[in-house]
Amino acid sequence: YGPPKYLPIDEKHPCVGDDITNPYGKSKYICEHILKDATAAHPEWNVILLRYFNPIGAHKTGLIGEDPIGRPNNLMPFIAQVAVGRLPYVNVFGTDYDTPD
């Protein structure tokens, strides 16, 4: 959630609250601590903490992140492809909900 202490970043990489550089990272850090406290109080709970790097999109070089070749399998790559001009629009499918879209 801020500058790394070392590279490559692994599962044991420390996360220090004072080094966090943005509000989203701070909220993730707070949630991690809430879940750690909860599992300490309730050892029967099983919790997994996921530190997503880049859940959507890709670096412009295509070396990292999701930049699907062919048909993406979720909504965000379609939105990203429209944003960069690869697709003219996002299709909306379905007739089972009466919505203004």
Q: How far is CA 33 from CA 22, 67, 88, in A?
A: 17, 32, 43
Structure token pair of residue 25: 């990272």
Q: How far, in Å, CA of 98 to CA of 101, rounded?
A: 9
Q: How far, in Å, CA of 21 to CA of 27, rounded?
A: 11
Structure token pair of residue 53: 């790097």
What residues act catalytically?
24
